[in-house]
Structure 1
Amino acid sequence: MTTATIKVILVDDHAVVRAGFKMLLASEAGIDVVAEAERGEAACQLYLQHQPDVLVLDLSMPGIGGLETIRRICLRDSQAKILVFSVHDEGVYINRAMNAGAKGYISKSSAPSVLVQAIQTLAAGGSYWETALNKNLPEADSEMDYKAVVERLSTREFDIFLLLAKGLTVQKIADELCLGYKTVANYGTQIRSKLQVSTVAELAHIALVLGLMGSEGL
């Protein structure tokens, strides 16, 4: 009995990281990396072109970013099998990926075998949420007001909130996300209004309290 090959697309903005993933998966019988991309925009096009069994992507990328990539692909294909492979293991990231439509989430610090197992599980129609990350999922009845507000931010607002909290200027954010200066400035105003703060320092404090300011950055 022959087992069908699992077609995979890798999406990460670091070429060295993609090369490492590709080498790992190439050594695994039954998995074929059919394409790779460094930005979400390209990932959306490649997904339509190759119709992979599983798309593996990082959340932190220039352009539209990982969360928006997940959302766009799932809007086009509700059965898309997307596995997030990220340095971020905070609950808010896991929840947002889940809500966007991802079928699995594992940490880049996982053993190589975990990536392989996750891909195989998704390809078979299952979901894979790394056990070690379960402790990071927020409680459903959380009483942290800031957390609730951040959870309700749109994908674009969330991205800009994190970049502002990291200290990037409006112009730098506009350049990184390929948006207009005024657009980013307006988003910043909306975000500060929703969180009822007036300074970037306050945004940074909120991000720090929520565990979103890890050493890896965005």
Structure 2
Amino acid sequence: MIKIGLVDDHAIVRAGIKAFLTSFVEFRVVGEAGSGREAIDLVRSTDLDVLVMDLSMPGQSGIDALAMIRAKAPDIGVLMLSGHPAEHYALNLIRQGASGYLNKDCDPQEIATAIRTVALGRRYISPKVAELLAGELDRKDNAPPHKHLSEREFQVFLKLAQGESVGTIGEELSLSVKTISTYRTRLMEKMNLSSNSDLTYYAMKAQLID
């Protein structure tokens, strides 16, 4: 029996995934959460084998929660689901410890396959993500500016691009305002941008935010 936790801010999405998963005799959904913060609480309180987690949620997102979940429960398989194409987030999330990355438009059977794979302690690498990993070796120097950000810089960049203040980001990531400001300065330099509105425009153009 594979014990699964579902994390998505839309209850109807969780209900749909749960209905699909419960059609498999080896799957059991044992907990649900609607935010990154609730996901961390779920991991603390529930015996899980796999966490299926949405990437984009209000407040503490799946990206924010991933590092803390990894620190508290390193053996849990964390499968990220996103409405964004794999090329925008997959490699960053895998570097941060995600066990796999799937687009929400994927065939439902692929979710079942991915859950079985990560429950065994392995990573699920879809053909698309494998292609991206191979491509990284060839085009590192020609990668877009956001690809050169560290994981934490990328995290702060996304939050700034979505209009969050330095203070709010500090609270969400449990970091000081000074530290967040340092990350902001650093990522601005790397991306050759000068304002938060520039960040927002860049993120929207690159389809990193809606």
Q: TM-score, normalised by structure 1?
A: 0.78
The answer as to 2:23 corresponding to 1:27 is yes
The percent of aligned pairs where both chains have the same amino acid is 32
**Aligned structure 1 segments of 4 or more residues deviating by more than 6 angstroms:** none
- 2:165 pairs, out of 160, 164, 170, with 170
| Pairing 1:84–2:80 present | yes
Q: Report the counterpart of residue 140 of structure 2 in structure 1.
A: 142
Check the 8 A contact 1:106/1:129 in 2, yes or no.
Answer: no
Paired residues of 1:8 and 1:31 also in contact (CA < 8 A): yes
Contact 1:56 1:84 in 2 (8 A): yes
Deviation at 1:107, TM superposition (A): 1.2
Match of 2:140, SS?
A: coil
Amino acid at match of 1:77: A
Q: Deviation digits for residues 89-135 of structure 1, max 9, x if unmatched?
A: 24351112111211111111111111111111222333212223433
Question: Among residues 51, 57, 61, which one is paired with 2:53 in the alignment?
Answer: 57
The one-letter amino acid paired with 2:188 is R
1:47 aligns with 2:47: no
Aligned ranges for residues 1-218 of structure 1 at < 5 Å?
5-137=1-133, 138-140=135-137, 141-143=139-141, 144=143, 146-150=145-149, 152-154=150-152, 157-165=153-161, 168=163, 170=165, 174=168, 183=177, 186=181, 188-204=184-200, 206-207=202-203, 211-213=206-208, 217=210
C-alpha separation in 1, matches of 2:55 and 2:190: 24
Q: CA deviation at 1:194?
A: 4.1
Name the count of aligned residue pairs.
203
Contact 2:63 2:155 in 1 (8 A): no
* Structure 1 contact 67–96 (Cα < 8 Å) conserved: no
Stretches of structure 2 that go unaligned for 5 or more consecutive residues are: none
Contact 1:37 1:43 in 2 (8 A): yes
User: Equivalent residue of 2:5, what SS?
Assistant: strand
Over residues 173-199 of structure 1, what are the superposed CA-to-partner deviations in whole Å (9 max), with x where a residue is unaligned? 939x8589x949835445324433212
